[in-house]
Amino acid sequence: MNATQSATAHDVVIGLEVHVQLATQSKLFCSCATRFGAPPNTLTCPLCIGMPGTLPVMNRHAFELALQTAVSLDCQIAPFTKWDRKNYYYPDLPKGYQISQYDLPFSHDGHLDTYDPKGNLPVRRVGIIRVHLEEDAGKSMHDEAAGKSDSLIDLNRTGTPLLEIVTEPDMRSPAEAKAFLTELKLLLTYLGVSDCNMQEGSLRVDANINLHVPRNGETIATPIVEVKNMNSFRAVERALEYEAGRQWEEWQATGQKMGDVPKQTRGWDDAANLTRPQRHKEESSDYRYFPDPDLVPVVVSPEEIEVITKSLGELPAALRSRLESEYGLSAYDSDVLVNQGRSLASYFVQVAEACGNGKLASNWIQQDILRLLKERQETIDDFPVSAAALADLLRKVDQGELDTSKGRDVLGGMIDSGQPAEDVMLELGIAAVDESELTALCEQLLVENERIVADVQAGKVQAIGALIGQAKKRNPNVNPGRVREICLQLISKRA
Amino acid sequence: MSLSREAVTKVALLARLELTPEELDSITSQLGQIVDYVQQLSSVDTEGVEPMAHAMEQHNVFRADEVRPSLPREEALANAPRHNDEYYRVPAVLGD
């Protein structure tokens, strides 16, 4: 918050409109592929380029993914839903209308709670006004010297299934908007309904923002501005920070309230770090919606909703709190693991269950496994060490048979050879040192180093380090941590 | 006459139709007659009748999520007034 903003208390009010491409193989109303990156205009057919006489038929999987999303957002599912034509002219919309949903969206009135593992932001329950299913338009490419040459149109994307998710204006800061988007993306990724890749346009965000300024016991709302063209969550946060500051200055200069001026649309310029007004589309609000006569309505039964609900699996918020309560992880650690996706989180759960030490499993996965996955450029599904094999190794670490550094060597060997920890230890000549053997060694060292014993007894505990060094010289397989523990125990018994 | 000239002018703009004053006159009159004709429906007593979202009583018509071959690009672009063998070319969309 900058100085001008904090000068007078006021609320920043933010609502979001998120478009998400659903992860189907084929388009919403025809059988063309939805693949990204194909050569321009190679994924079209008479239907999606709007030829007369074609008829749309809805993709069942798209509707199922849409239902899964809405149920996960705690939305009410409409028992009866239909599709409408939204009429407007634009070169990337070959039919002259977009098939969307107007007055009877398939779902409405849900919510999603924001989450901040660091606890800096309040948990905000963000209302979901509606989620509806519609088709995407094509892509227009404009020449830099706009107006000087043609625009080019690629219709590959035309007809790709899109979910539009509209929130209530419930967010009170740009950071909260970002936190909401992060949580939404995590949820959608867990469901597998979308890859949420913003660079490829699978997830697009528009934001509505204004200020609520208290004055003489009343709250004055400033004009709402819609901000577009934000290409990352960070850009959303920065654009809204800029816009909140700009609106505050404008409010102080003009005193304009909501309704005094028409709703404005501004585009975020990431490089210039500011928003600019966008030209108004003439008559843009007159879409003349009417029910699409080519598509029949869809009826959803409570039984179908039940089946969908049961198929969802554990969702991020529930999983996070389970990792904390059942495995004793901190909010931060559970968040890191859950954010790695469903496969990695389930790998963690298997390791933690099998080795019996959740914190140890969490540390190893975060410090070693994640690093190795990054180096090897692979996902946990392709990682050569199974959860059971890692748990086996971690049990040895947990019981003091191996210290962390030797454990790492063994893990490296397991990856290279595909052998279990036991075999790798044999191969590397790392023998687990028997506990009684270790105790005998420690006793021997104490007898030989009376001065160190005296130092430790006098309170110089760090003197024990010399004993650990000697122990390692005599037997490289000893676990330094255990040597320290045993020596201290023996010394305290002597006292 | 149930339609005003202004209403027809607006509808023509939304439909991207450029009408001469003479065409506007005749279309205002013709469209007005169509609207009047359909207007007869409002004389029917619909008290207690559930509104329908679709003329057919059918619902839940789906297809499986299966990819089928798309059109070869030459064919997709064949009817376009202008193209560059890869893209449709249209008059510049942005810029005043």
pLDDT tens figures, A131-174: 999 999 999 988 655 556 789 999 999 999 999 999 999 999 99
Q: Please give the residue of chain B at the shortest CA–CA distance from A34.
A: B67
pLDDT score of A193: 97
Question: How many C-beta neighbours within 10 Å does residue A280 have?
Answer: 12
Find the mean pLDDT for residues B33-56. 90
The angle subtended at Cα A400 by Cα A395 and Cα A401, nearest 5°, is 80
Could you tell me if A4 and A145 are in contact, meaning their C-beta atoms sit under 8 angstroms apart? no
CA distance B75 to chain A (A): 9
- The CA distance from B5 to A487, in Å, is 101
Q: Where in chain A is the domain with CATH 1.10.10.410?
A: 435-494
Write the ipTM: 0.90
Asked if the C-beta of A87 comes within 8 angstroms of chain B's C-beta atoms, the answer is yes
A141 touching chain B per CB within 8 A: yes
Give, as one character, the DSSP assignment of residue B42. Answer: G
Least CB-CB distance to B60: which of A286, A288, A298? A298
pLDDT-derived band at A6, boundaries 50, 70, 90: very low
Higher-confidence residue of A425 and A125: namely A125
Residue A57, pLDDT above cutoff 50: yes
Residue A279 has pLDDT above 90, yes or no: no
- The secondary element (H helix, E strand) that includes residue A424 is helix A421-427
Report the pLDDT averaged over residues A211-231: 94
Q: Which structure tokens are listed for A107? A: 């779902």
Residue of B nearest to A278 (CA): B94
Whole-number pLDDT of residue A148: 64
Both tokens of residue A357? 């030490």
Q: Which residues on A lie below 8 Å from B6 (Cβ)?
A: none
pLDDT, residue B95, reads 47
pLDDT of residue B1: 55
Which residue did the predictor score with more confidence, A466 or B63?
A: B63
Q: State whether residue A233 is helix, strand or coil.
A: helix
CA distance A338 to chain B (A): 30
Report angle CA B8, B9, B14 to the nearest 5 degrees. Answer: 95
Q: Please say if the pLDDT value at position A490 is more than 60.
A: yes
8 Å CB contact between A475 and A433: yes
Closest C-alpha among A352, A479, A357 to residue A410: A479
Please say whether the beta carbons of A264 and A225 come within 8 A. Answer: yes
In CATH, what is the architecture of B5-41?
Orthogonal Bundle (1.10)
Q: Break chain B into its structural domains and give their ranges.
A: 5-41
Measured distance between the N- and C-terminal CA atoms of chain B, rounded to whole angstroms: 38
Average the pLDDT over each of A208-217, A341-350, A430-439, A456-465 and give the range with the smallest value.
A430-439
Q: What is the predicted pLDDT for the residue at A281?
A: 56
Confidence of residue A450 (pLDDT cuts 50, 70, 90): confident
Touching check for B52 and chain A: CB below 8 Å? no
Tell whether the model's pLDDT for residue B43 goes beyond 90: yes
pLDDT at A187 over 60: yes
- Name the CATH code of domain A435-494 (choices 1.10.10.410, 1.25.40.10, 3.40.50.720, 2.60.120.260): 1.10.10.410
The mean-pLDDT minimum among A169-173, A431-435, B71-75, B83-87 falls in A431-435
Task: Fill in the amino acid letter for A40.
Answer: P
Round to whole Å and give the CA distance between A144 and A464.
71
Band of the pLDDT at B33, cuts 50, 70, 90?
Answer: very high
Q: Does A153 touch chain B (CB under 8 A)?
A: yes
Contacts 24+ apart (CB under 8 A), A155-158: A155/A41, A155/A44, A155/A48, A155/A49, A155/A92, A155/A94, A155/B76, A155/B88, A156/A38, A156/A40, A156/A41, A156/A42, A156/A43, A156/A44, A157/A201, A158/A27, A158/A44, A158/A48, A158/A49, A158/A92, A158/A93, A158/A94
pLDDT over 70 for what percent of chain A? 95
Q: Which of A171, A184, A158, A207 is nearest to A70 (CA)?
A: A184
Q: Report helix, strand or coil for A210.
A: strand
Residue B69 pLDDT exceeds 70: yes
Residue A195 in contact with residue A341, Cβ under 8 Å?
no
Residue A430 has pLDDT above 90, yes or no: no
Which tokens sit at B8?
């027809």
Q: From the list B14, B67, B90, which residue is nearest A153 (CB)?
A: B90
Chain A nearest-CA distance from B13, in A, is: 9
pLDDT of A2 strictly over 60: no
pLDDT of residue A13: 98
In this model, does residue A495 exceed pLDDT 70? no
Contacts of A284 in chain B (CB under 8 A): none
Q: To the nearest whole number, what is the mean pLDDT of chain A? A: 92
Interface check for B89 against chain A (CB to CB < 8 A): the answer is yes
